[in-house]
Structure 1
Amino acid sequence: MKRCHLMLTIFLVLGVASLAGAMDKEEAAHGPTAYVAPPANSIMGSCATPVVISSLPFSATAQTNCGLGNTYAATCLGNYDGGEDIIYRLDLAASTTIDIVMNPGTTGWTGILLDSACPPNATTCIATNTGSSGTRSILGKTLAAGSYYIMVDTWPTPNCIPSFTLDITAATPPPPPAAHDVCDGAIDIQGQSLASWDVNLTNAGTYYNDYSPVAPSCTGYTANGPDAVYSINLAAGEEIMISELGTCDTSIWIATDCGNLAGSCVAGADAVGGSATETVTYTAAAAGTYYVIIDSYATGGCPVTVTVNAPVSTEESTFGTLKAMFR
């Protein structure tokens, strides 16, 4: 009988040790969750009567959940929903990317959640942020139009946050891509009336990696960096020569099908690595619109200078007669 009691004691001790091991040392030392009693009835800051935020930016100081009771103690915050809580409702009229920052001052063991349901989901919310000290932040969350709930809580002790600030802002969206980042917005080379021009093939220049030739055909390599698309109308037998010089490894290729650029590539150049001039010369097999893709191998892209020579018939394609398209 004593032996059985001893084995049971060992199992219990091991069980406690295993449970503590699932937390970090600081959390394990904080001890088991102590739940604050729920309020006697619904008060401000609950799902039924949330603090409503109807426009952004929102900034509030001297906020508190002290005295509001522990209404919600089975949420995705886990241990951090055992204290008193306050609910905010954020109403969005349109899709918005938001940043939420809650500063609890000197109060530790705080948590914040964002969810589309109230009471919040018991296991999985849109986002949570918890910690033993410091500011709680939920950043860069893109939400569709609708209502969302933010809960501020603690892992007792402390039972509540005497004073905190809450700031919610609409994150600055990235600029829209350049129109000719995709083929549907291709710029007409003849229409822009330039023999040479610069294009900043970077995300900062609002260009992205939309297209890449299929290796080993066309250029011989893939191109995983940002690209820009131009178009030109050629008669059958006309020849065009296009060059580019970038500050990174670039490539240039020509295709016939706007809906399938990679699958319709007819000529390309990617012979030189690093910052060097790439040149492609192509004779049109048939009359029609051809698409010129100024591309980059580097994922970050780089500024590129493009130069195009006039399309001429192959009979006229000599050094003396090949002239710049625009004087």
Structure 2
Amino acid sequence: MTPRYAKLPQGLRARLYLLIAMAWLGTGQVQATTCAGAITLNPASLPITNQALVCGGANDLNSTNVPGALCGTGDIDSYKNGNEALYTLTPTTTGLYNVSVSGQTWSSVQVWAGCPTSGGTCIYGDGNSAASTTITVTLNAGTQYYIWFDTWPTPTSPCPGTFSIGPPPPPPANDNPCGATTLTANASCVYTSSTTVNATATTGVPAPGCASYNGGDVWFKVVVPPSGGLIFDTNTGVITDGGMALYTAPACSGPFTLVTCDDDASANGAMPMITASGLTPGSTVYVRFWEYGNDNPGTFSICAQTYAPPTPPANDNPCNATVAAVNSGTTCVTQTPGTVAGATASG
């Protein structure tokens, strides 16, 4: 006996097909994540903000066929082992671009010039255990880039999640010395709020030499008081570990001379503090601040405080040397007192 099937009305069939298609789309397996199957982004659509990721159903790009740590940060290649989402973009304008992914923990983003499995060059990559990751890269007009979003093997993929691509927001006003925020040297510490979000690296200034400087610095300036002494202290915000350097310069354009650098002398956690003396009264000095390693940009606060160095001792230089008592024999009966408090360097 041949089975017979009822024929569904056309409208009901259409709705059924739609439901089947939607169920298939919801599996996240609608896009092959080989380079040939990468989703093409139209540069005219930039900036893209919080667009839903489309992930593959298999780990097509992984630490086996694209071995090695993530370039730029050196993060471990396990960040390549989820079921990735892959896009391609050929920008029409050369410049800086922010590429970010959010909505899933242990996610990563990489940008490659050319296909990662066919001789492409990694431009930059970063992985993060948090629920968002952002990188800033320079993209050249006319070059095809592959933008690869992935995860640690757990969770399975960066989906559900969103991504954004576009020019970075402008840096803060005090991103360089000529835009330095003016601080007033008070008798006690009065904090001023600031941020390193979107700050860039300053070029043409001597390296600070401490606190793992990696760009993302902001600047402050203050007029040296008559005492020639200043204390700079910082406090935590989003940033809990910072670095700070003090410079002298005849103008905001330089040339700059590094006075000192500090990592975590402040009583406020792992924040920096600088105490400086012997500065030229009436001159302007410059303070450079950054987040340690530049991997957690955010808010912090800073203050400048007047500082009166101790008066140098009477014997601060050779011409005023104290005559030491000379004892007879081998017993030091008469001792000559002295102190180095407030002493200066003898030139």
- Please say whether Structure 1 and Structure 2 have the same fold, judged by a TM-score greater than 0.5: no
TM-score range, shorter chain: 0.3 to 0.5
Q: Which has the higher strand share?
A: 1
TM-score (normalizing by structure 2): 0.38
